[in-house]
Amino acid sequence: MAKPLMIALDFPTGKRALDFLSAFDQPEKLTVKIGMELFYAEGPSIIERVKALGCDIFLDLKLFDIPNTVKQAMHRLALLGVNYVTVHGLGGSEMIAAAKAGLKEGAEEAGLKEPVLLAVTELTSISDQVLKEEQNVQLPMKDMVLSLAQTARKAGADGVVCSSQELQTLNESMADGFFYLVPGIRLPEDGVQDQKRVASPAFARKNGASAIVVGRPITKNAYVKEAYNRYEEDWLDA
């Protein structure tokens, strides 16, 4: 698989998202993330409009429900022709396996390539304190993420979403060929906002990330293309 830098299109409307993408001369070279805010505002039509520009799409809805519900939802999402989708790793092996089955059925029905299934481990906004005191998890963060990743792989997921801080543990403990998507990416000159476990693009790449997601440091920047280029350079030159 390629190692893309994904731009998070965290906008309230499709118009805002498409206006943002118009700043790029070659949008067909971009991979973008469409999350809950934009998808819930616009529905599946936003997928078609972004696909028409040639972008690859990471549809990040983090499905988390009983296995049959997730299977049927993934069947529908596969029909949209997106490239990556997510479930919550905490949903368990049966739910993840059902998600994989739904994607396979939907992709076959549409005659499309099956989307890459990623299981979300612990959000990058979760600290060790929250993990212990609110989720009542006694494992250290790295061990918890590893446990979720191992479960996801056995259930048929193609990879996981994790922070950069767990990459070394995952790469040392998991077999080759698993996909690691890392959000919470910030260059030193950019603020961390509500993220807790962050790192630079170069750090993520050197520690085994397969892809990264960058949002506000690019989308909220007055100089969009320049900001994107800074992050891409740090990512590709690592």
Judge whether 60 is annotated as a binding position: yes
Judge whether 15 is annotated as a binding position: no
The size of the chain, in residues, is 238
**Tens digit of pLDDT for each residue in 125-148?**
888 899 999 999 999 999 999 999
Provide the annotated active-site residues: 62
Q: Which of 11, 8, 14 is nearest to 49 (CA)?
A: 14
Residue range 51-74: mean pLDDT, rounded: 98
> What's the pLDDT score for residue 125?
84
Phi-psi sector, 177: left (phi>0), alpha (psi -120 to 50), beta: left
**Tens digit of pLDDT for each residue in 79-107?**
999 999 999 999 999 999 999 999 999 99
Is 80 exceeded by the pLDDT of residue 222? Answer: yes
Q: How far apart are CA 234 and CA 24, in angstroms?
A: 19
Is 70 exceeded by the pLDDT of residue 2? Answer: no
Pick among 3.40.50.720, 3.40.50.150, 3.20.20.70, 3.40.50.2300: CATH of 5-236: 3.20.20.70
Q: Burial level of 158, CB count in 10 A (0-12/13-18/19+)?
A: buried
Judge whether 237 is annotated as a binding position: no
> What's the pLDDT score for residue 229?
95
Question: pTM to 2 decimals?
Answer: 0.93
Judge whether 10 is annotated as a binding position: yes
Q: Kindly give, in sequence order, each residue whose CB lies less than 8 Å from that of residue 148, ignoring residues fewer than 6 positions away.
A: 89, 90, 119, 121, 122, 160
